[in-house]
A and B are shown apart, each in its own frame.
Chain A
Amino acid sequence: SAVISQKPSRDICQRGTSLTIQCQVDSQVTMMFWYRQQPGQSLTLIATANQGSEATYESGFVIDKFPISRPNLTFSTLTVSNMSPEDSSIYLCSAPWGGGETQYFGPGTRLLVL
């Protein structure tokens, strides 16, 4: 199994500012994913963090708003830029494990934008 940690666990931010969320996996993984979970909603995939290349974004998400870094096979960051209250969500990172079909998730970063 994989252990995934995230920092910070929660934060309260002012609109217009940016927050960078870190995700650390205890073993090397090929892919890492970033999800958003808005209040009372299910998970929505933001992007795939690729090591050595640009992230691949899903429809409705853009690099300028959610820049992602993947400097190595165990670490990734997601930045939420120029935040507004609508960005208040839980942000989760995940990594596929075993045969790649199942995913391990981090505990999430709970973000509140005022």
Chain B
Amino acid sequence: SQKIEQNSEALNIQEGKTATLTCNYTNYSPAYLQWYRQDPGRGPVFLLLIRENEKEKRKERLKVTFDTTLKQSLFHITASQPADSATYLCALDPNGGATNKLIFGTGTLLAVQP
């Protein structure tokens, strides 16, 4: 079956450390993968998109990697801050980018302790 899985457990880290979140997918061949942040009571907010031909993408303290052989994306937040505490969702278009529909992963709750 097709599915997208993220760290099921909440991730607790100390302020200043690097948080690493995992997104694994099966039976998809996405043209790209996206990461979103969701705060309680709010809609998801887009963070980064990485394409199938890109190994790594960075934006300020964020870094995303994409391994289409492993069918995995890693999302890193360096020098983490308590304000980074939120649920992080990975998402992909199951139709290879043709439809703009998104299938979301299960989400990982990140808690950064001061």
Also in contact, A100 and B44, with CB within 8 A (given A42-B89, A42-B107, A43-B89)? no
**Which residues on B sit within 8 Å (CB–CB) of A108?**
41-43
CB<8 Å pairs between A and B, sample of 21: A4-B43, A41-B106, A42-B89, A42-B106, A43-B89, A43-B104, A44-B104, A48-B99, A48-B101, A94-B43, A101-B34, A101-B49, A101-B93, A101-B97, A102-B34, A103-B46, A105-B45, A108-B41, A108-B42, A108-B43, A110-B41
Also in contact, A107 and B42, with CB within 8 A (given A48-B101, A101-B97)? yes
Interface size on B, residues (CB 8 A): 21
Q: Is the interface of A mostly helix, strand, loop or mixed?
A: strand
B43 partner, pick from A42, A92, A100, A102, beta carbons under 8 A: A92
Listed in ascending order, the chain A residues whose CB lies under 8 Å from chain B are 4, 31, 33, 41-45, 48, 92, 94, 96, 100-108, 110
Interface residues of B in 66-114 (CB under 8 A from A): 89, 93, 97, 99-107
B100–A105 CB distance below 8 A: no
Does B32 have its Cβ within 8 Å of any Cβ on chain A? yes
A101–B100 CB distance below 8 A: yes
